[in-house]
Structure 1
Amino acid sequence: MTTSKQLQSANPTPEVFSGWFLSGQVDESEPLRKFPVHSDPFTVGRQSDSSLCLPTGCISKNHAELTFRDDGTLILRDLGSTNGTYVNGEVITGDTVVNEDDIIQFATIVFRIGSDDVESVGNTIAEDVCDQALAIIQFERLISDGGLYPHFQPIVTLADQKRIGYEVLGRSRLFGLQSPHEMFTAASQLNMEAQLSEAFRQRGVEIGTAFGSDCNLFVNTHPKELDRTEFYESLKTLRESAPDQAITLEIHEAASTNLTMMRELCAFLKDYEIHLAFDDFGVGRARLVELGEVRPDYLKFDMKLTKNIEMAPPSRQELVALFANMVNSLGIKTLAEGVETRECHEILVEMGFQLGQGYYYGRPSPISKYTKSDSDPQTDPDLIDGGQSTGPIKIEEI
């Protein structure tokens, strides 16, 4: 990584800067793009005549510039911006040398510097590593600046396929952080899995209230947050933000073996009128005896048990049906995941399952697909401006 150096800048010939580029996203809805550094100086700002125009409120009109020395050294300079310019996570205060694969950040907008003329062994691996670094740097933007765009997947009663709720699933448009796996990978590097999980729930309920208070929103947890006192505070805040909303908290079935923790959690959820679901039942350590000790409201059978069950051997079908009927007898609602075909749906009904979830009933989608409020920017994640900071970033007047 580079360090800041005070340097003089001079105009080179066009050939010097012809191969340099910035790689990143101007807007979260756009794909990753390359922006050639085609001039000296190469200006960055909100002004429309900037070499790289970033039309968002956290960027100053004249934010920063890139210049070249005679020897081709690339220099980055902040132009007195409100929210700062950073190289590899450190704010710059003077002329700063930047090299290939450095991470440059203008306020909350992040780019990687690259050069088509520079060849190195293992260049693809190096780019992957730098893209991972870019994703980690953008993680704060994901949490603080409204970068989460929840998707919703229907949950239906199998008897009539009526929707009774939706599972909230995390998504993002930030480069390198689109999928839950990518987001939690970045979060693990910062030991912030619990904070990401909390943000998923809060954002999902905030958007999901557009379904109506009777619609049950199934929100997820991360194993690392279950033994934190902040976890209970986050659930209290969640309930206070939507006092009348039907909410179900999903816990991985492996956590059900900790009976002391589960009893404490159940008592808390009962006080705040939040339902409980055990997720991924049937592939871990959960046992039916524990269901007798701590009974959730819902039991979600792992899709490894129920997906394509219509093509499974009769012995497996009989075993799954036996499990479903035993759980039903305990007064727990059985939910089959991974339902993708009509044939699978029909055999699950015969087995006694009460609820279903899967592509057959609907794919994870923005709320606009399932409501009539797709023109309302308050409820449609496709229309909400996730680039405006609600944290310490200041929004400049245009």
Structure 2
Amino acid sequence: MAETIPAGATTDGAITVGHPADARVSAAPSFDVADFPVPHGREEEWRFTPLERLRGLHDGTAVADGGVKVEVTAPEGVIVETVGRDDARLGRAGKPVDRVAAQAYSSFEKASVISIPKDTVLTEPVRIAVHGEGGMVYGHQVIEIGAFSEAVVVLDHTGEATLAANVEYLIGDGAKLTVVSVQDWGDTAVHAAQHTALVGRDATFKSVIVTFGGSLVRLSPRVVYGGPGGEAELYGLYFTDQGQHQEHRLFIDHDTPHCRSNVAYKGALQGQDAHAVWIGDVLIRAAAEGTDTYELNRNLVLTDGARVDSVPNLEIETGEIIGAGHASATGRFDDEQLFYLMARGIPSDEARRLVVRGFFGELVQQIGLPDLEERLMAKIDAELEASV
């Protein structure tokens, strides 16, 4: 079923000139947590986040007393390692940009590194299952793909935990990496993570982030370019239920000529105090001639009592670009569309399910793994059934 923009949709956004480091963050990126002030909720990068629900991740009071079980299933030729903090690959993609990410970087003991050698084309995905076993945990993961290789990686989060982590993607020249990150946590989980991709020359990076569970999930996907010709596609879908806070804060730094980025995130919300936040920052620096970029956010509000904050930002420092744009819309069901379906004998609950499936369908298809696509659509159906 084709997507339609909900009736009564609204848009919001800004086009400005300046640096995000000056306008929307309180401190410069750093590996040292001491370089970041303790947030109080008035800072631009924290104003939407309920700090009291971070369980001390933001102010240094969180104590690592829990655990996660990590299982990696990888095709032949993939190298899976557990390394110490002195491994040279750690931190190569970029520095933490907020206090929680810096706390996670300063606190982890061991990191997992998954390497796909040069000129390797994987026909099966690498699957990383992260299952929370309770308590507070700090984590760090690096996924490195060599030049001219192709791979799909699935990062699947389940269980209960408070997890603060950094995930790095190192994408070699001419390589193609697709990463699907699923947040299917239990009801009380808290997950805060920075995902940073360093995209090599003529390389392609596709990210699909799917968020369902958790009490609070705050993810910060970031893209930087290591050479001309890099492409980044960032897709996301989230289904925010009663009492949940789900926040996605994207930043794409176009500091290299002739690179491309495309962003499309969609969310559905239902239930009292369901709160979704989407921040999309794209910076085109003066040196980034030939840039082509676009970002889109759509939100479908299913019930009263839910709240969406959607803020696209596009900052341009050179006029020598191919194109740049953004769009944001939030609205309720289209009554005419529901009436059309019900007039043809489709019950109201089924009509509602078809509309939501159509809304998410295009993004789910970006995953390209039938078993995972079926699981996620079944999860969407279950969320809808629970609200009836």
Which structure has more helix as a fraction of its residues?
A: 1
Which structure has more strand as a fraction of its residues?
A: 2
Scaled by the length of structure 2, the TM-score of the pair is: 0.25
Bigger CA radius of gyration? 1
